[in-house]
Amino acid sequence: MKYAIGSPPFDVFSIMDTGSDLTWMQCNPCTQCYQQNAPIFDPKSSSTYTDINCQSTQCQQIRIHSCGAANVCSYSTRYQDLSFSNGNLAADSITFNSTDERSLQFFNFTFGCGHGNGGSFRSDMSGVIGLGGGPLSLVSQLKSAMSGKFSYCLVSVVDSHLTTTVNFGSNAVVSGDGAVSTPLVDKQPPTYYYVTLNGITVGPTRIHYKSSSPNNVNADVNEGNIVVDSGTTVTFLPPDMYDQLESTFTAVIQGKRAPSPVSPLKLCYYLSKREALNIPHLTFHFEGADVPLFPANVFVRVSDGVVCCSMAPAPAGAPNIYGNLAQVNYLVGYDVVNRQITFKPTVCSLH
């Protein structure tokens, strides 16, 4: 996602992540940074940049923070794949290009100026833009300006040359034919967008949600049992539910199994054309919303001649996640005021 930070505005390209709150980008001086193709933001070049002190409310809202030199708040953030960012908490203006070719600028936006960053970030990424539900996220900081609404449409990995638009405010309302909505469930931490998954249908087979947690072993469904996350690639399901899903697929799909070339994906086939797999129809049944997936949402090419199911068992202690491969070619709208997420099938390259 493209935006700009500072005065004058400095262009930044970051990972749009609904599963985290803090927006951060690599900053000079870079003591430990990954390779970045684009220029790195230099706080000294912005006339509106300020460091945030240790006693501030914003500093206390960072889960891992400390007091650095000159009473500046130091943050540390970690992701599930062990990627990380460390740096100073700061405030500056943030600017977005609008669809009517105007620039919209907001002042005193709190973000992380990362001086030590690493992990799975690619060289075309400047950092992360946090669209979670916590107090420091972009959505929360600009809540009044965007009415608590945003939407996006993710293109297929085979169409990675295409661009789409992230919408905020009234333009982010998702409606019309095919649009279905499911309630957001309030749970901790507030960062995550929790919804309720009742089950999955594969062809004629209904797989009911059943928690693998010892605390919910007799519960068919518990509210807010899965997180919708744009920043996670794979859809993670309770292990028991995934095992049923894999068994149902293997009973129907006629193809030669292949060893998985990438973790955590497990179910893979040798194939030159995805259509030859005869993938059965698959529908996610969220509370109040049935979301049918396209074949490209369900199986993805991971290497030459090998495709894998885009779903996997959730690691122990980790949340269930509805990942971004499942969201491709869907207009996904978040409404944090009315507490719902809306899905609408579409061709994302048109948006």
Query: Annotated active-site positions, please?
Result: 17, 229
Give the separation between CA 266 and CA 14, rounded to whole angstroms.
Answer: 29
Q: Is 102 exposed, middle or buried (0-12, 13-18, 19+ CB in 10 A)?
A: exposed
Number of H helices, E strands in the chain: 5, 27
Give the separation between CA 345 and CA 303, rounded to whole angstroms.
Answer: 27
Q: Across the chain, which distance is largest between two alpha carbons, in Å? A: 65
Give the separation between CA 66 and CA 197, rounded to whole angstroms.
Answer: 38
332: β partners: 152, 343
Nearest to 246 by CA among 224, 218, 227, 266: 266
Tokens of 276: 């030859």
In angstroms, how far is the first alpha carbon of the chain from the final one?
A: 14
Nearest to 24 by CA among 137, 139, 127, 121: 127
340-345 β-sheet, strand order: 167-168, 149-153, 330-335, 340-345, 180-183
Peptide bond into 315 cis (omega under 30): no
Total Cβ atoms within 10 A of residue 9: 18
92: β partners: 109
